[in-house]
Amino acid sequence: MKESFKVFGKVQGIMFRQTFIRACHRRGIVAGATNNKKDKNLVTCTVEGEDNEVYKLKNDLLELKELNSWGSHVEKIQVIEEDLNINSHEVTTDNVDSFKWTEGVQFFL
């Protein structure tokens, strides 16, 4: 299954993309995530993996009160029709380790 969606909530400036991408990697899902420059409460994501794993990931995004120790939280997910290429995203499961991330964040997702 491949799907692109918008994630709304407390998702920028608090390590959401790293948290999301590392959770995808652990679940065997190929993914990408991009911050929205105009809306600090929006990140666009694309995932590709087993249907069940994608479903569980999206459920966990909505159900967990905090996704990481910095307070990242998702309020809503909106599926988009546009089929976004994973490699067009800022952070992907392929390039996540090439970024200099701030240390000390714990991932709960």
Q: Could you tell me if residue 109 is inside a domain?
A: no
Tell me: the pLDDT tens digits for 58-108?
A: 999 999 999 999 999 999 999 999 889 999 999 999 999 999 999 999 999
Q: Could you tell me if residue 80 is inside a domain?
A: yes
pLDDT at 10 exceeding the cut of 90:
yes
d(C-alpha 82, C-alpha 89), whole Å: 14
Q: Could you tell me if residue 107 is inside a domain?
A: no
Structural domain boundaries enclosing 16 = 2-98
Q: Could you tell me if residue 108 is inside a domain?
A: no
- Return the SS3 of 63: helix
d(C-alpha 103, C-alpha 33), whole Å: 20
Tell me: the pLDDT tens digits for 33-44?
A: 999 999 999 999
Q: What is the pTM of this model?
A: 0.95
Give the CATH number for residue 9.
Answer: 3.30.70.100
Q: Could you tell me if residue 29 is inside a domain?
A: yes
Number of domains in the chain: 1
Tell me: the pLDDT tens digits for 45-61?
A: 999 999 999 999 999 99
Q: Could you tell me if residue 66 is inside a domain?
A: yes
d(C-alpha 29, C-alpha 53), whole Å: 7
Inter-CA distances, 48 with 2, 28, 40, 77, 105, Å:
4, 9, 25, 16, 25
Q: Could you tell me if residue 51 is inside a domain?
A: yes
Q: Could you tell me if residue 104 is inside a domain?
A: no
